[in-house]
Structure 1
């Protein structure tokens, strides 16, 4: 077995009765989740704001080594299309920043219709780096974000290109843009529902073991409860 040097977790910390035996019996769902996993992705921030005191409570509920990835609001990525978002970014930074040193990553998920516009993209990434001292990852879903110029833009901006499954918008080999990886496993063949077969998890383990320390792997196949068992199985492969 290899040594775990990456963050492995799920999109959210809901724990069903089917996985209860793998976690402590006492505490909130987050406290129980964080007793086993060392990272989680907050997707609810994409849909609605959370007060700073909520982020503070979440941070206080987890061990010192635990880290949160927080998804950028859709008002910035999907509604505004990255343009004219300074006020929204300031509000978001005032909220998610309350996680303090528990904030491990800001996740930028872009809509399939959003083609690469270098000016707003560079401005957004620069603004995020000014406000946050953590990993910045981008999951784009338009083919224009996977060409050579986009790869160079992400590298210059210090942004990790998300490796997603299933693949959206591009074919061919995955081209990384930063030393640390960020993997999002949405479920395949049925997105958000399908569990991953043992061999697929073994492939993920082998690939992740070769990545830089501090890389992330998040299971987003939560709709049928597959994320937690898959994340537990992957974590067990690291010993």
Structure 2
């Protein structure tokens, strides 16, 4: 019996409008701003939409973005803070419906929805259980991928891991020294937000570090774990192949496209993409 093929690995960045990426740093000199998304989506596998954290767009705007990107590309999106920054999550499901209904205009370009909770948000696993239970698993006939970015260190318990697994939601690996960074696999996809790019390196990270992330991404895609990364629970077992997202966010932002492109090339070089 043949072994299942690994899941797809998509590398990416947060947003696509940033002046420091122009003039040859990432975008070719003279490229019109209206063509930046089309260019970026052909160099990368995913872009995280950050603006939705502050204000959702109209469905027509999402549809325009969809048309500018190639098949196989994905947008992830941060859910509105008006939902995730409320201490009481009891009404979050109902409040999320409008956001989800609109962003589904991205169609098959829609990837994970990232629900980011502040570092002082109450951390009871039961609250996240009710929150995930209220979120739809499908919208407009398309399955939804939900990822929780939990920034309260006290919330990271074995119970949280169990809740995420029960709902098939991913727990975001932050790759940051400022926020909890645990790599417990809990879903059929992995969402890593790496936040330590260095300004003095063209690719943001040392080559050896990117090689490590290349190997980690491939292990995740095969359904394996990465025991070298911190975990909350020690019961991760090999499973089915997973879809993997590795995004370079924040820190030395002008280096993030270089990091994402460099990692993508490494993956292509070893047959991992």
Structure 1 residue 164, shift from structure 2 partner: 1.1
Deviation at 1:101, TM superposition (A): 1.7
Q: Which residue of 2 aligns with 1:186?
A: 195
Work out whether residues 11 and 222 of structure 1, in 8 Å CA contact, stay in contact via their aligned partners in 2.
Answer: no
Identify unmatched segments of 5+ residues in structure 2.
1-5, 222-241, 269-273
* Structure 2 match to 1:165: 175
Deviation per residue, 1:104-152 (Å, 9 max, x gap): 1111111000122344422321232334413211111112332111111
1:16 corresponds to? 22
Measure, in 1, the Cα distance between the counterparts of 2:86 and 2:61. Answer: 25
CA distance in 1, matches of 2:132, 2:198: 32
Report the equivalent of 2:263. Answer: 234
Q: CA deviation at 1:82?
A: 2.5
Please tell me whether residue 91 in structure 1 is matched to residue 98 in structure 2: yes
TM-fit CA distance, 1:83: 3.2
Contact 2:174-2:195 at 8 Å conserved across structures:
yes
Residues 78-104 of structure 1, C-alpha deviations (whole Å, 9 max, x = no match): 135523224421210121111112111
| Higher alpha-carbon deviation: 206-215 or 52-61 | 206-215
Aligned to 2:75: 68
Secondary structure of 1:187's match? Answer: coil
Distance 2:49 2:212 in 1: 25
8 Å CA contact 2:146, 2:170 repeated in 1? yes
Please tell me the root mean square deviation across aligned C-alpha atoms, in Å.
2.7
Contact 2:198 2:251 in 1 (8 A): no
From 46, 49, 62, give the equivalent of 1:42.
Answer: 49
Where 1:129 maps in the other structure, the secondary structure is: coil
CA distance in 2, matches of 1:229, 1:99: 26
Q: Is it true that 1:100 corresponds to 2:107 in the alignment?
A: yes
Which of 187, 208, 225 is the aligned partner of 2:217?
A: 208
The answer for the alignment partner of 2:227 in structure 1 is: none
What TM-score, normalized by structure 1, do the two folds share?
0.86
Asked whether the 8 Å contact 1:52–1:96 carries over to 2, the reply is: yes
Structure showing greater Rg: 2
Residue from 156, 160, 175 that aligns with 1:150: 160
Could you tell me the TM-score, scaled by structure 2's length? 0.76
CA contact (8 A) 1:9 1:217 kept: yes
**What are the ranges of 5 or more consecutive residues in structure 1 without an aligned counterpart?**
none
**Structure 2 residue 186 is the aligned partner of structure 1 residue 177:** yes
1:38-73 CA deviation, whole Å, 9 max, x = no partner?
211111100111111111111111112111111111
Structure 1's 118 and 222: CA in aligned 2 closer, same or farther, altered over 3 A? Answer: closer
State the alpha-carbon separation in 1 of the partners of residues 265 and 50 from structure 2. 25
2:207 to 198, 205, 210: 198
